[in-house]
Chains A and B, each alone.
Chain A
Amino acid sequence: MTTPTPTRSAPLRRRAAAGGAWLYWWGGVTLALLLYGLVQALLLAPTEATMGIYYRIFYFHVPAGITGFAAFGVNAAASLWYLLRPRKAADALALAAAETGVVFLAVNLITGPIWAKPIWGVWWVWDPRLTLTLVIWIMYVSYLVLRQFTPRSELQPRLAAAYAMFLFIAVPIDYMAIRWWRTQHPQPVIFGGPNSGLDPHMAYALVVCLLAFLALMATLMRFRHRQEMLSHEILRRQRAAALKES
Chain B
Amino acid sequence: MASVVAAFAAAWIVHILYLFTLGARQRRLQQALDSLDARER
Contact = CB atoms under 8 A, between A and B. Distances in A.
Interface of A is mostly: helix
Contacts of A117: 3
Given A7-B37, A234-B36, A238-B32, A114 B18 contact: no
Contacts of A53: 1, 4
Contacts of A241: 36, 39-40
Interface stretch (A81-89, A197-205, A222-230): A222-230
What class of interface size applies to chain B in its complex with A?
20 to 34
Given A7-B37, A230-B29, A234-B29, A107 B8 contact: no
A114 B6 contact: yes
Nearest to B30: A16
B4 A13 contact: no
What class of interface size applies to chain A in its complex with B?
35 or more
Interface in A1-44: 5, 7-9, 12-13, 38, 41-42
Interface string A45-84: 0000000011011001100100000000000000000000
A90 B33 CA distance: 23
B6 to A, nearest CB: 5
Contacts of B10: 107, 110-111, 114
Interface of B: 1, 3-4, 6-8, 10-11, 14-15, 18-19, 22, 25-26, 29, 32-33, 36-37, 39-41
Given A118-B3, A216-B15, A238-B32, 12 more contacts: A41-B8, A42-B8, A60-B7, A64-B11, A110-B7, A110-B10, A220-B19, A223-B22, A227-B25, A230-B33, A231-B29, A234-B32
